[in-house]
Amino acid sequence: MVVEGVKTDFGPPYFRDLLHPVIAKNYGKWKYHEVVKPGVIKRVAESGDVIYVVRFGTPRLLSIYTVRELCDIADKYSDGYLRWTSRNNVEFFVTDESKIDDLINEVQERVGFPCGGTWDAVKGEYGLSNIVHTQGWIHCHTPAIDASGIVKAVMDELYEYFTDHKLPAMCRISLACCANMCGAVHASDIAIVGIHRTPPIPNDEAIRKTCEIPSTVAACPTGALKPDMKNKTIKVDVEKCMYCGNCYTMCPGMPLFDPENDGAAIMVGGKLSEARRMPELSKVVVPWVPNEPPRWPTLVKYVKQIL
């Protein structure tokens, strides 16, 4: 039964309904683009319409207050339109070139986000984009490292590469807080991966009260878990365990965290495109770096040295 005037589908809206009018008008009919300066891209349509995309680096997690400030700025400079990229950069769309510098100054003064994250392939000048990352300590249940904290520390050190075109080639940095890698970071140029180095320690009391033993045992991809039916708990074969955390996903009585032994590995050379050579996954260059919150100085030093 369909009731006129009543919306029954609450899924995501059609993306074209949210496009800036200039982008919607010229969809698929762009003539060329050029990088005016780091963070500012000029796009010219076949119709002659021009729109400027102004990019800023943001954290992946933002408070509603910051989002509202950015929306207020968008109302003032970009006709109420903005978007976030897959690498956590926010972009404003400006049709009046004279507003660009005022927009950049206001964003930097009000919310402190830097303008940049672009590159100019024609000139062979490249900037570093933001780091795409997983949840880390703030939400994920099996992290070996934090995500937001490390990304903040690394990007603070690499700030000059984001705001300017100082690199000779494209480079992507990604981070996953455990080896499950829900962000597929092993396909990036530089990948930071959280590493567990010790097996889970069964909490017998918690397993008896909160866990379904057959399901937990079946969740182990290497067969490292066996039921201990006499004591109504689970045994771990340390030789088979690969520290993935699947058992903890199924059972809170199988904690995997170890502050002394958890850390990060650094991988390089990941590539998914087929340009110039075949796709390949990254290789380990630094097998383990300890957790050193809040600024992770050793990890940051290695990443900058590799870059």
Q: What percent of the chain has pLDDT over 70?
A: 98
Given 116, 135, 155, which residue is the final one in a domain? Answer: 116
Range 36-43 average pLDDT:
98
| Residue 91 burial (CB count, 10 A) | 18
Two tokens, residue 213? 């033993």
For residues 209 and 273, membership in a common domain is answered with no
pLDDT tens for residues 244-253? Answer: 999 999 999 9
- Between CA 87 and CA 281 the distance in angstroms is 19
For residues 293 and 168, membership in a common domain is answered with yes
Q: Is residue 137 part of a domain?
A: no
Q: What pLDDT is recorded for position 259?
A: 87
For residues 156 and 299, membership in a common domain is answered with yes
- Between CA 133 and CA 125 the distance in angstroms is 25
| Adjacent-strand bridge partners of 193 | 176, 265
Given 66, 101, 116, which residue is the final one in a domain? Answer: 116
* Position 8 pLDDT exceeds 80: no
For residues 156 and 290, membership in a common domain is answered with yes
Q: What pLDDT is recorded for position 3?
A: 66
DSSP H or E stretch at residue 155: helix 148-157
Q: Is residue 252 part of a domain?
A: no
Q: What percent of the chain has pLDDT over 90?
A: 87
* Position 163 pLDDT exceeds 80: yes
Range 66-87 average pLDDT:
97
Average pLDDT score over the chain: 94
Q: What pLDDT is recorded for position 17?
A: 92
Q: Is residue 294 part of a domain?
A: yes
Confidence band for 2, pLDDT divided at 50, 70 and 90 = low
What total of structural domains would you count in the chain? 3
Q: What pLDDT is recorded for position 1?
A: 54
* Position 60 pLDDT exceeds 80: yes
For residues 158 and 288, membership in a common domain is answered with yes
Q: Is residue 39 part of a domain?
A: yes
| Adjacent-strand bridge partners of 167 | 126
Q: Is residue 122 part of a domain?
A: no
Pairing of strands 190-195, 173-176: parallel
For residues 218 and 89, membership in a common domain is answered with no
pLDDT tens for residues 188-211? Answer: 999 999 999 999 999 999 999 999
For residues 24 and 109, membership in a common domain is answered with yes
For residues 76 and 155, membership in a common domain is answered with no
Q: How far is CA 5 from CA 8, 16, 38, 114, 303, in A?
A: 10, 22, 47, 44, 55
Amino acid symbol at 139: H
For residues 211 and 189, membership in a common domain is answered with no
For residues 165 and 298, membership in a common domain is answered with yes
CATH number for the domain spanning 30: value is 3.30.70.3340
Residue 57 belongs to what domain range? 15-116
> Who's near 94: CB < 8 A, 6+ residues apart?
51, 52, 53, 54, 77, 78, 100, 103
For residues 154 and 300, membership in a common domain is answered with yes
Given 116, 131, 165, which residue is the final one in a domain? Answer: 116
- Between CA 234 and CA 205 the distance in angstroms is 11
The answer to whether 174 and 180 have CB atoms below 8 angstroms apart is no
pLDDT tens for residues 86-140? Answer: 999 999 999 999 999 999 999 999 999 999 999 999 999 999 999 999 999 998 8
Q: Is residue 7 part of a domain?
A: no
Q: Is residue 37 part of a domain?
A: yes
For residues 67 and 99, membership in a common domain is answered with yes
Q: What pLDDT is recorded for position 19?
A: 96
* Position 82 pLDDT exceeds 80: yes
* Position 183 pLDDT exceeds 80: no
* Position 64 pLDDT exceeds 80: yes
Q: Is residue 50 part of a domain?
A: yes
Q: What is the dihedral of CA 290, 138, 66, 183, to 10 degrees?
A: 70
